[in-house]
Amino acid sequence: MPLRIIVLGKQVPDTKNVTGEVMKPDGTVNRAALAAIFNPEDLNALEMGLQLKERCGGEVIVMTMGPPRAAEILRDSLCRGADRVILLSDRRFAGADTLATSYTLAQAITTHLSPFDLVICGRQAIDGDTAQVPPQLAEKLGIPQVTYVEQVLECGDGRLRLRRDLGRSEEIVEASLPLLMTVPRTANHPRWPDARLLLKYRHARSGFEIEAEAKRRGKSVDETLDYLRTKGLFIESWGVEHIGADLARVGLGGSPTKVKKVDSVVLKGRDLRFFPPTDAGVKELIAELIEERTFV
């Protein structure tokens, strides 16, 4: 049973490596100073998609919504084995919260990628850590969702048997297709880009990149476009009109939630008493803890 699998990816700032220089004096984050990476759990989602394709047949389409620069993770996806990639990019998508994001993604899928069998997402992205887009997208697509999928036990006959890990419990579930599932980092080890694919797809370009490069080199856009198209190196990008999106439901304006304010994390200044790392120091510390009835 060949499956049409859509994997969603997001390019995110590497929030795990936030250093002093990245924080501005006003406590906000200097996005530009952070490396942009493939959201780690989206790589687990891609890996699960690729393994399913190898097992059950079909194709893997990777889609991302983001600024033109997000084409970087699409090139990466091609080098890891994706069959097709799509960049959802339009200034009017900017500032979207999870509801507006899920609407935009759903609109792209229903207008241009239906019918499909599976949507696979990483459990959550490391910039927002919300885990909200996948269930919201499933609702918009009118399909069931299975979150925290560790393993696909069986595929076939319009159904999947899945193992979920919920921390305190584990479930085996059976779900009918089409289906959306989310994948945590513990599910698998994402493969590395393939050297042969890397040689080919490092030349893949989106329309935004072609325009910028053509301008720089004084070449015509059409010439480059034709060349990349014939070589299978053109990265499709879709905007508001292409997916027939309702402007009132995308971007900042389509987002019910607003950021009221952002504060930097301030350490609670405490009276800190140091004790020397000696036998005498440790004894003194313990005497103090006992006196304060800290031991119970």
Q: Verify binding: residue 243, other proteins, rule CB under 8 A.
A: no
Q: 3-state DSSP call for residue 256?
A: coil
In the list 69, 92, 112, 140, the residue contacting other proteins (rule: CB under 8 A) is 140
In the list 1, 55, 91, 129, the residue contacting other proteins (rule: CB under 8 A) is 129
- Nearer residue to other proteins within complex by CB, 75 or 123: 123
Question: With contact defined as beta carbons under 8 Å apart, do 152 and 179 qualify?
Answer: no
Written as one letter, the residue type at 294 is T
CA distance 281 to 277: 6
Q: Verify binding: residue 222, other proteins, rule CB under 8 A.
A: no
**Among 77-85, 88-96, 204-212, 286-294, which window interacts with other proteins (CB under 8 A)?**
286-294
CA distance 232 to 228: 6
- Nearer residue to other proteins within complex by CB, 143 or 204: 143
Q: How far is the CB of 126 from other proteins (least distance, A)?
A: 6
What DSSP letter does each residue of 178-190 carry, written as one string? SEEEEE-TTS--P
CA distance 225 to 216: 15
Q: CB 39: neighbour CB atoms within 10 A?
A: 24
CA distance 120 to 131: 13
List the x/- string, 94-123, binding to other proteins by CB under 8 A: ---xxx--x---------------------
Q: How far is the CB of 191 from other proteins (least distance, A)?
A: 20
- Nearer residue to other proteins within complex by CB, 12 or 74: 12
In the list 145, 188, 224, 237, the residue contacting other proteins (rule: CB under 8 A) is 145
Give 97-117 as a 3 state SS string.
Answer: CHHHHHHHHHHHHHHHCCCCC
Q: How far is the CB of 232 from other proteins (least distance, A)?
A: 36
- Nearer residue to other proteins within complex by CB, 54 or 170: 170
Q: 3-state DSSP call for residue 84?
A: strand
- Nearer residue to other proteins within complex by CB, 85 or 162: 162
- Nearer residue to other proteins within complex by CB, 96 or 235: 96
Written as one letter, the residue type at 44 is N
